[in-house]
Structure 1
Amino acid sequence: MKMTQRPGWTPARLREHREAHGLTLEAAGERLRQAATVHGLSVPAANFQTLWAHEQGTVFPGPHYRRAYCLLYQATEPELGFRPPLPGESQKAEIVISELPAPTDPAADNAAAQVIEEAFTKVSVGGIEPGDSPQSLLRGRVVDAWRRRHGGGSPRPILVLVGGYAGSGKTEFSRFLSDVTGWAFLDKDSLTRSIVERLLVSLGGDPNDRHSDLYLKEVRPLEYRCLMETAWDNLNVGTSTILSAPFIAELKDKAWFTRLENRCAAKGIDVAAIWVRCDPESMREYIEFRGAARDAWKLGNWDQYAEGLDLEVSPPTAHLTVDNRLGAAISLADQTRESLRRIFT
C-alpha cells in the first residue's frame, strides 16, 4: 500500500481515537457528517473507504475533514496526528465545561467571556499586551459585544477590517468573530463578485482576472468602494460591522487608514484592523479546496504568486495579528464555538 508523504503526519492516531470512542468506520463517518452539519461546515462524504484511507495514510484528509475530525473527537490537529504543533502553539481553549454554572446563572456569561478572551489571546501572534494596548482594547470590544447581546455592554459601534492573503482563513475567522459578537459580517466576494465579473467582461477582460492592470486600476477600486459604502450603511444606524477582504494595499497605507480612523472618530465609531497570517502550503490547500475560478491564475502560477507575498510582516496598521499557520487559529475558533454552545445548551 502506497503511503502519502506529509511532514509530521501520523495516520494511526485517527484509528486510535476512533477505537477509543468505540466507533466503527461507518459510525465514525455518520458522526463526522453530523458534526459538520451542526457547525455549518462543508459536509464531507465520509464513507468508510475514505476514512480507512485516512487511517492507513494513503489519503491526507482535506481541510473540511480535519475540522470535522477535530470537532468530533474534541481534539486538536496535532493530537490527531495531522501535523506537529507549532512552536508555542496553544492546543486548546482550556475550560472544564462540567464545572461551569447553569446557563440561567449570570456567571455563565462570565464563563463564556473567559473562553472568548482565552481564544483571542491564543490565536494572537505574540499574545495580548496588557493595559490599553490595541490588542487588549479590541479583545475587550469583542467580549463587550458578547455581554451586550445578553443585556449589557457599550452601544458604541465598531468597524473591524479582517485582511489577509487569499486562502489565509480571514473569512472563516470573520465568521467566528461575527458568531461571538453578533456584529454584521460582510464578505467582499459575496457582496461584489457577480458585478465584478460582469464588469470585467463588459470591459473586454476575463471575468476571473484579479491580477491585470484592468482589474487593479478600473475594477478593484469600485469593488472596495461598494464594500466600504455598505459598511457605512450599517455603521450609520449603529450596527457594528466586520469586513472580510484582502485589504493588502489599504492596510499597508498609513494615510488611508488614518483617514478611515478620522472619519470613524467623527461619527463616534471605533475602528480596528486584524491581519490573518498563514503559511503558503496551507493557503494553497484552502484555495484548491474552495475551487473558485478566480483562483486559477494563482494555482497555475503558484511559485510566482507565492514569491510576491510578504508572509512574515504584518501591515503597520494592524491592531492584531492572528496566527493561522497550519489552520491553528481556525481550529481553536471551532473549539471555542463548541465550548460556547455547550455552556448555553
Structure 2
Amino acid sequence: MISDLPEPADPAADNAAAQVIEEAFTKVSVGGIETGDSPQALLRNRVVDAWRRRHGGGSPKPILVLVGGYAGSGKTEFSRFLSDITGWAFLDKDSLTRCIVERLLVSLGGDPNDRHTDLYLKEVRPLEYRCLMEAAWDNLNVGTSTILSAPFIAELKDAAWFARLENRCAAKGIDVAAIWVRCDPESMREYIEFRGAARDAWKLDNWQQYAAGLEVETSPPTAHVTVDNRLGAAISLADQTREALKRILA
C-alpha cells in the first residue's frame, strides 16, 4: 500500500517540501543533477511539478517512467517513492504478471520459477513485458502518468527499442524518462535472500555465475538518470525524505 503525504498548510511549507524533494533527487542521482535542459534536470522538475499539482490541482502532460535495475537493486522501492511523491500510477512487473508467467511455464513443460533458460527468455519473457507495456498504455491513453518497475535489462540496452517507444509516446503527447537503479552485488544478494522469492532460487544457488554477468559499474545507454543505491543509500534517503516532508507539512 502506498501512503499519501499530507497536504501543505501554506505556500512556505509547499516551497520547503519542494526543496526537500529536489535535494533528495539530486543526492541519489549519479553525478548529481545538471542544470538547464538536461534529461536529469527535466525529470527532477517533472517530479517536483507533479507533487505540487497533486496537492494543488491541475492535469500535466502525462509521462511514462521506466525504472530498471537488476534483481534486488531497489528499483521497486524507488518506484514506490516516486509514486508516493507524484501520485503517478505504479505498475510492478512481477505483481502484474507473476501468476500468469508461472502457469505458462508449467504448461510449456518448464519450471514455474525459471527466469534464466531459453524457454523463459524466448517464449515467456516477451509476453510478460508486452502485458506490462499494454497496462501502461491503458493508463497513458487516458492521461494518467505511469511508473513501471521491471529489470528492463535488454530493453534499455536496445537503442532502437527505446527510440520506438519515444516515437510512439511523442505521437500521443507523452514524455518518457528512463531511470536505472545501480546497486552493489552484496547488497542485491542480501535483499534477494531477505525477500525469499522462489523465482530467485537459481540466482542464489549459482551466485558466482549470476553475479559475473552483472554490469554494476555502468548504466544502459538509454538511461536518463542513474540512481546510486549502493549499500541501500537511495532507499534510505527516500525514507528520510518521506519523514522530512511529513514534518514540514504537519
- Tell me if TM exceeds 0.5: yes
Give the Cα–Cα distance (whole angstroms) in 2 for the partners of residues 153 and 110 of structure 1: 17
Deviations 1:227-276 (A, max 9, x none): 00000000000000000000000000000000000000000000000000
* Greater relative contact order, per chain length (Cα 8 Å cut-off, separation 6+): 2
Normalising to structure 2: TM-score of the pair?
0.96
Give the Cα–Cα distance (whole angstroms) in 2 for the partners of residues 98 and 295 of structure 1: 28
1:147 touches 1:153 (CA, 8 Å); kept in 2? no
Q: 1:118 to 1:211 in 2, by over 3 A?
A: same
* Secondary structure at 1:130 match in 2: coil
2:93 touches 2:132 (CA, 8 Å); kept in 1? yes
Q: 1:101 to 1:292 in 2, by over 3 A?
A: closer
For residue 102 of structure 1, report the CA deviation from its aligned partner: 11
Give 5+ residue unaligned stretches, structure 2: none
1:125 touches 1:323 (CA, 8 Å); kept in 2? yes
Deviations 1:283-340 (A, max 9, x none): 0000000000000000000000000011111000000000000000000000000011
Match 1:230 to one of 135, 141, 144: 135
Match 2:90 to one of 166, 185, 192: 185
Number of aligned pairs?
A: 250
Matches within 5 A, 1:152-301: 155-301=60-206
Give the Cα–Cα distance (whole angstroms) in 2 for the partners of residues 99 and 118 of structure 1: 20
How high is the sequence identity, in percent, across the aligned residues?
90
Q: 1:108 to 1:153 in 2, by over 3 A?
A: farther
Give the Cα–Cα distance (whole angstroms) in 2 for the partners of residues 266 and 108 of structure 1: 38
Q: 1:103 to 1:226 in 2, by over 3 A?
A: closer
Match 1:121 to one of 14, 17, 26: 26
2:5 touches 2:85 (CA, 8 Å); kept in 1? no
For residue 97 of structure 1, report the CA deviation from its aligned partner: 23
For residue 104 of structure 1, report the CA deviation from its aligned partner: 2.3
Give the Cα–Cα distance (whole angstroms) in 1 for the partners of residues 9 and 242 of structure 2: 19
Q: 1:341 to 1:97 in 2, by over 3 A?
A: farther
1:97 touches 1:339 (CA, 8 Å); kept in 2? no
2:115 touches 2:199 (CA, 8 Å); kept in 1? yes
Give 4+ residue runs of structure 1 displaced > 3 Å after superposition.
96-103
Give the Cα–Cα distance (whole angstroms) in 1 for the partners of residues 157 and 112 of structure 2: 27
For residue 154 of structure 1, report the CA deviation from its aligned partner: 5.5
Give the Cα–Cα distance (whole angstroms) in 2 for the partners of residues 211 and 302 of structure 1: 13
Normalising to structure 1: TM-score of the pair?
0.70
Q: 1:133 to 1:208 in 2, by over 3 A?
A: same
Q: 1:213 to 1:103 in 2, by over 3 A?
A: closer
Q: 1:138 to 1:97 in 2, by over 3 A?
A: closer
* Secondary structure at 2:56 match in 1: coil
Give the Cα–Cα distance (whole angstroms) in 1 for the partners of residues 160 and 151 of structure 2: 18
Deviations 1:53-90 (A, max 9, x none): xxxxxxxxxxxxxxxxxxxxxxxxxxxxxxxxxxxxxx
CA RMSD of aligned residues (A): 3.4
